[in-house]
Structures are given as structure tokens and as C-alpha cells.
Amino acid sequence: MGGSIATYFHITGAHQKIYDKKAKVDTFQLDEIVLRWDARNEDKGKHDKFENLWKGPYKIAAYRGQNAFLLKEINGDDYPGGPINGRLLKRYHF
């Protein structure tokens, strides 16, 4: 029994190493232009088939914590709402 538990943790550790190699941490700079994922409408039935769920573009206005950001509109107006998790942002390439 002890050997199977050790094997399980060895395999789990191997999977974690593979995941960590592929996982990329995005770091955003102030005034960088980003898109925001519309998490409220991502569930099936809440949006049309071809509706774009990436909203924006926005600029990074400030940091709030380790991976939370305040956004502002491109024209300089503040984004309504609180901090946005970095998982829900991606760089905007134009």
C-alpha cells in the first residue's frame, strides 16, 4: 500500500512540473493596453455564438494587490467597477 501512495505523489509531482513549464505568468505594466474577459456572459445561453467576450480596450491605471489591476478607458475615464483579476486580462495587439 505504501508503494502506491509514493507512486501517486511521484506522478502528481511530474504532472505539476509539466503544468508549471507551460503556465505563463503575465505581468502588466502601467498604461499597457489590455482586453478584459466578460466572465458574466461566458456561460452557455448568456451570449450569442459569434458575440465577442473580450471587452475593451482599456489601460492599466494602477495595481491593487499581487494580481489585481484597476483599469481606465482609453480616453482617460475611470473604468466603472473595482479591481480586475489578472487572469481576466490579456494584452491588446493592434
User: Residues 1-60: pLDDT tens digits?
Assistant: 456 776 766 667 776 777 666 656 668 999 999 999 998 888 877 778 888 899 999 999
Q: Who wins on pLDDT, 4 or 93?
A: 93
Q: Roughly how many angstroms between the first and final C-alpha of the chain, as a whole number?
A: 57
C-alpha distance from residue 5 to each of 8, 11, 32, 43, 82 (Å): 5, 10, 47, 38, 44
User: Residues 62-89: pLDDT tens digits?
Assistant: 999 888 999 999 998 988 889 999 989 9
Task: Assess contact for 78 and 60: CB atoms under 8 A.
Answer: no
Model confidence, pTM: 0.69
pLDDT at residue 23, as a whole number: 58
Distance CA 28, CA 13 (A): 29
